[in-house]
Structure 1
Amino acid sequence: MSEILVRPMEPDELDSWNEFVAGSPQGSVFHTTAWKHVIENSGEGELAFWGCFEDRMLCGGVVFLERERHGQRTAVTPLLTPYCGLLLDEPAGEKFSDQISRDTRVAAALAGALTDQFSYVNLMNSPALHDVRPLTDAKFELIPRFTYLINLCLPVDELWQRLDGSVRRQIRKAERSDFEVTDNLNVEEGFTLFDSTFTRRGEVNPISRAFFEEIVESERLREKRRIFCAIRAGRLESFIVSLSDNETTYYALAATDEAALGEGVSSYLVWEMIKNQATEGMKTLDFVGANIPSIARFKEGFNPRLQIYFHSQYFSSALLKLGKHFADRIR
Structure 2
Amino acid sequence: MNVDPLFHPGWIEFNERQWGLEAEHLTLTPDKGDAWRLDTVLYRNRRGRLVTPPRNPYLPIHFECSSERPASINRRKRMALTRLAERLRETGLGGSLSLSPVADDVRPFEWAQMSARPRFTYHLEIAGREERIDPSARKKARKCRRLDYRCEVSEDYAAVAGCLSGPESRKGFDYRLEAAELDRLAELMGPDHFVCFLARNARGEPMGTRVCLYAPGGHAMAWSAGMKTEAMKDGVNNLVAEEALAFFEAQGCTVFDFIGANIPPVAEMKEAWGGRLVCHFVISQRGMRQLAREAYVTARTLLKRESK
Give the shorter-chain TM-score range.
Answer: 0.7 to 0.9
Q: Secondary structure at the match of 2:45?
A: strand
Structure 2: unaligned runs, 5 residues or longer: 292-308
Partner deviation per Cα, 1:89-143 (whole Å, 9 max, x = no partner): 222x464444433333332222112111215452222222222221111111111
Contact 1:41/1:214 (<8 A) preserved: no
For 2:99, the equivalent position in structure 1 comes to 125
Q: CA RMSD for the aligned pairs?
A: 2.7
For 1:88, the equivalent position in structure 2 comes to 63
Match of 2:119 among 131, 140, 145: 145
For 2:209, the equivalent position in structure 1 comes to 239
For 1:46, the equivalent position in structure 2 comes to 22
Partner deviation per Cα, 1:53-111 (whole Å, 9 max, x = no partner): 4459793233232114xxx64211112221215543222x4644444333333322221
Counterpart of 1:59, as a letter, is R
- Tell me: CA distance 1:94–1:121, structure 2 relative to 1, closer, same or farther (3 Å): farther
Counterpart of 1:127, as a letter, is P
For 1:11, the equivalent position in structure 2 comes to none
Counterpart of 1:30, as a letter, is L
Contact 1:49/1:64 (<8 A) preserved: yes
For 1:327, the equivalent position in structure 2 comes to none
CA distance in 2, matches of 1:73, 1:37: 17
Matched, 1:181 2:154: no
For 2:301, the equivalent position in structure 1 comes to none
Q: Secondary structure at the match of 1:303?
A: coil
CA distance in 2, matches of 1:115, 1:135: 9
Match of 1:66 among 44, 52, 60: 44
CA distance in 1, matches of 2:269, 2:115: 30
Once the 2 structures are TM-superposed, how far is the Cα of residue 254 of structure 1 from its aligned partner? 1.2
The TM-score, its normalising length taken from structure 2, stands at 0.82
- Tell me: CA distance 1:44–1:254, structure 2 relative to 1, closer, same or farther (3 Å): farther
Counterpart of 1:192, as a letter, is G
Q: Secondary structure at the match of 1:89?
A: strand
Q: Secondary structure at the match of 1:59?
A: strand
For 2:233, the equivalent position in structure 1 comes to 262
Contact 1:237/1:260 (<8 A) preserved: yes
For 2:87, the equivalent position in structure 1 comes to 113
Q: Secondary structure at the match of 1:249?
A: strand
Structure 1: unaligned runs, 5 residues or longer: 1-21, 322-331
Matched, 1:167 2:170: no
Identity across matched positions, percent:
21
For 2:199, the equivalent position in structure 1 comes to 230
For 2:302, the equivalent position in structure 1 comes to none
Contact 1:77/1:84 (<8 A) preserved: yes
- Tell me: CA distance 1:183–1:307, structure 2 relative to 1, closer, same or farther (3 Å): same
For 1:10, the equivalent position in structure 2 comes to none
Q: Secondary structure at the match of 1:254?
A: strand
